[in-house]
């Protein structure tokens, strides 16, 4: 079979599996994101393989059994997972929770209420908090206002990490500085730009979380966190690999790029704050005094232009799919701003923890220091993660269902694209396409949490958090995959 046709059938099969898995729990899947794209929905296009339209519809790989699918028993799940966990290479601190996503019934627990370093599974909590606080349609606006003197423009960082310089941006559908510059030039009329002032005052506190590993700013997976940046602080958004070099001062890099678009030199970029709005300069009957604004010139603080981020549902998808740490920190700060807290690491962590409580989840089981999971000071319990996923799947809070389109799919997308196995050569093959989960990795810490459909068509929520892991990533990750695959393979009755 030609490669293109094989790929088309694989995509269709996985799409069918995922649609059925989410339908079991009543989750709406007509959302922007991978599932919507595979189904030919109206969401924004995303990168990745497409279904070959010449292919016939693939046969279902699961029966849409809904809530009537056979229900696993705790005894069955224990019998399936017990041998794996007893002989696990993950060490002695493996905490796990498995829950029936339809009923919320606990099927397996081991250290489920133990506060554990969650690594990037923290992003599930961040996603739920920001979706609840802001709503999936919210957009972040980056604005430019007139400065105190004619020709001065102030670009105000609003916390949009996806902002692009031009059409070569990293994030699809991002707001663009070149379009913002065009708006500013038009708004200024005959007044030539003279200076770009960067206002990053929305964020406060340190730009790096104190408990981050020392290589986070330089390792390519994190960056200093500023209110103004482009392309998640990446130096070269055309580099589509993982672990890209980041700007040491993302706000200044964005300011320089904006100045260039306005025809100004780097020396014209300074930091400062926007003046209070005063409207436009009054009409004059005489020639203006040199140095004073011309008649009709936008007065200090007047808006000259704005661009918006993609909707928040897309930002959540960016964060979860590729475990984007910079986007995660920006979203956590959106929770802080929505709750009128400082947009800092401390303020964001407090706000996310508070949202956990407002969602009716056990707030004592979430103690965060950041929104990405890079901090080793974070503590989350496995049961909190499964409670959150179950709530999202059951539809008790409809906006939380919007975290599902962003979850990586086993052997297909995001951080799970090269895990599990779709060739049939490894024991994790049955998990391909039916495990949809967020991963987490720090040195000595490995985690996975998400949803999986059993062989009988039942949707389960699971979380496995392992601390003090004595083996490397190449051994730890397949072990986590085997646990998820075991849930996919068994009816567990």
pLDDT of residue 425: 64
Question: Residue 220 above 80 pLDDT?
Answer: yes
pLDDT of residue 241: 75
pLDDT of residue 242: 74
- Please indicate whether residue 20 or residue 370 has the higher confidence score (pLDDT): 370
CB 480 within 8 A of CB 464: yes
Average pLDDT over residues 268-280: 88
Q: Is the entire prediction scored with pTM above 0.75?
A: yes
Lowest mean pLDDT among 8-22, 135-149, 152-166, 314-328: 8-22
CB 367 within 8 A of CB 379: yes
Q: Which of 77-86, 165-174, 271-280 holds the top average pLDDT?
A: 165-174
Provide the percentage of residues in the chain whose pLDDT is more than 70: 82
- Please indicate whether residue 3 or residue 225 has the higher confidence score (pLDDT): 225
Which of the following is catalytic: 88, 97, 309, 323?
A: 323
Question: Residue 55 above 70 pLDDT?
Answer: no
Name the band, by pLDDT with cuts 50, 70 and 90, for residue 406.
very high
Question: Residue 217 above 90 pLDDT?
Answer: no
Question: Residue 295 above 60 pLDDT?
Answer: no
Lowest mean pLDDT among 270-284, 338-352, 453-467, 477-491: 270-284
Q: List the Cα angle 301/302/304 in 5-degree steps.
A: 120
Average pLDDT over residues 24-46: 36
CB 109 within 8 A of CB 463: no
Determine whether 323 is an active site residue. Answer: yes
Question: Residue 167 above 80 pLDDT?
Answer: yes
**Rounded Cα distance, 159 and 34, in Å:** 25
* Three-state secondary structure call for residue 340: coil
Question: Residue 367 above 80 pLDDT?
Answer: yes
pLDDT in tens, 97-115: 999 999 999 999 999 999 9
CB atoms within 10 A of CB 67: 13
Which of the following is catalytic: 88, 123, 372, 449?
A: 123
Question: Residue 257 above 80 pLDDT?
Answer: yes
CB 181 within 8 A of CB 261: yes
Determine whether 443 is an active site residue. Answer: no
Residues linked to residue 202 through DSSP beta bridges, in sequence order: none
pLDDT of residue 422: 64
pLDDT in tens, 427-474: 888 899 999 999 999 999 999 999 999 999 999 999 999 999 999 999
pLDDT of residue 399: 93
Average pLDDT over residues 392-410: 92
In sequence order, what are the residues at sequence separation of 6 or more whose Cβ sits closer than 8 angstroms to the Cβ of residue 45?
A: 37, 172
Question: Residue 283 above 50 pLDDT?
Answer: no
Provide the percentage of residues in the chain whose pLDDT is more than 90: 73
pLDDT of residue 114: 97
Name the band, by pLDDT with cuts 50, 70 and 90, for residue 279.
low
**Rounded Cα distance, 247 and 135, in Å:** 30
How far apart are the two ends of the chain, measured CA to CA in Å? 38
Average pLDDT over residues 187-200: 96
- Please indicate whether residue 296 or residue 302 has the higher confidence score (pLDDT): 302
Residue keyed to tokens 């923290």: 122
pLDDT of residue 41: 35
* Number of residues in the chain: 493
pLDDT of residue 155: 98
pLDDT of residue 483: 95
CB 315 within 8 A of CB 327: yes
Name the band, by pLDDT with cuts 50, 70 and 90, for residue 296.
low
Q: Across all residues in the chain, what is the average pLDDT?
A: 85
pLDDT of residue 24: 40
Q: List the Cα angle 243/157/142 in 5-degree steps.
A: 100
Average pLDDT over residues 409-422: 90
pLDDT of residue 237: 93
Determine whether 120 is an active site residue. Answer: yes
pLDDT of residue 421: 76
Q: Which of 276-290, 418-432, 462-476 holds the top average pLDDT?
A: 462-476
Closest CA to 254 of 177, 184, 350, 326: 177
pLDDT of residue 63: 33
Name the band, by pLDDT with cuts 50, 70 and 90, for residue 66.
low
Name the band, by pLDDT with cuts 50, 70 and 90, for residue 423.
low
């Amino acid at each position: 079979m030609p490669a293109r046709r094989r790929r088309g059938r694989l995509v269709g099969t996985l799409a069918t599996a995922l649609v059925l898995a989410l339908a079991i729990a009543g989750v709406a899947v007509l959302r922007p994101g991978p599932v919507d794209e595979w189904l030919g929905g109206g969401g924004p296009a995303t990168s990745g393989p497409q279904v070959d339209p010449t292919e016939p519809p693939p046969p279902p790989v699961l029966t849409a059994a809904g809530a009537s699918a056979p229900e696993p028993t705790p005894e069955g799940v224990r019998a399936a997972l017990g041998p794996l966990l007893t002989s696990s290479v993950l060490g002695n601190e493996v905490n796990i929770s498995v829950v029936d996503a339809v009923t919320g019934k606990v099927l397996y627990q081991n250290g489920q209420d133990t506060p554990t370093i969650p690594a990037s599974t923290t992003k599930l909590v961040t996603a739920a908090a920001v979706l609840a606080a802001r709503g999936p349609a919210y957009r972040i606006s980056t604005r430019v206002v007139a400065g105190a003197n004619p020709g001065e423009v102030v670009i105000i960082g609003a916390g949009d990490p996806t902002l692009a310089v031009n059409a070569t941006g990293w994030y699809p559908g991002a707001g663009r500085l070149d379009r913002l510059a065009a708006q500013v030039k038009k708004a200024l009329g005959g007044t030539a730009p003279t200076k770009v002032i960067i206002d990053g005052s929305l964020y406060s506190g340190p730009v790096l979380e104190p408990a981050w590993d020392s290589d986070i700013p330089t390792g390519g997976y994190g960056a200093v966190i500023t209110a103004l940046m482009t392309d998640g602080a990446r130096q070269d958004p055309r580099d589509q690999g993982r672990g890209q070099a980041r700007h040491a001062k993302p706000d200044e890099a964005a300011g320089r790029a904006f100045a260039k678009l306005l025809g100004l030199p780097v020396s014209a970029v300074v930091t400062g704050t926007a003046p209070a709005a005063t409207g436009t300069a009054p009409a004059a009957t005489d020639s203006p005094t040199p140095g004073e604004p011309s008649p009709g010139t936008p007065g200090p603080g007047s808006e000259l232009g704005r661009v918006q981020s993609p909707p928040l549902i897309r930002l959540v998808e960016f964060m979860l799919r590729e475990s984007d740490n910079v986007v995660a920190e920006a979203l956590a700060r959106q929770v802080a701003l929505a709750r009128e807290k400082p947009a800092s690491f401390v303020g964001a962590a407090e706000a996310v923890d508070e949202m956990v409580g407002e969602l009716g989840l056990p707030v004592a089981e979430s103690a965060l220091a950041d929104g990405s999971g890079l901090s080793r000071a974070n503590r989350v319990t496995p049961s909190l993660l499964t409670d959150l996923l179950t709530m999202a799947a059951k539809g008790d809070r409809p906006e939380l269902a919007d975290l599902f389109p962003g979850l990586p799919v086993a052997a297909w997308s995001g951080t799970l694209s090269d895990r599990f196995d779709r060739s049939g050569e490894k024991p994790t093959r049955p998990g391909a396409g039916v495990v949809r989960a967020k991963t987490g990795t720090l040195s000595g810490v490995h985690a996975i949490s998400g949803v999986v459909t059993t062989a009988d068509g039942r949707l389960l929520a699971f979380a496995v958090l392992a601390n003090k892991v004595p083996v490397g990533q190449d051994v730890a990750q397949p072990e986590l995959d085997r646990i998820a695959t075991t849930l996919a393979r068994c009816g567990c009755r």
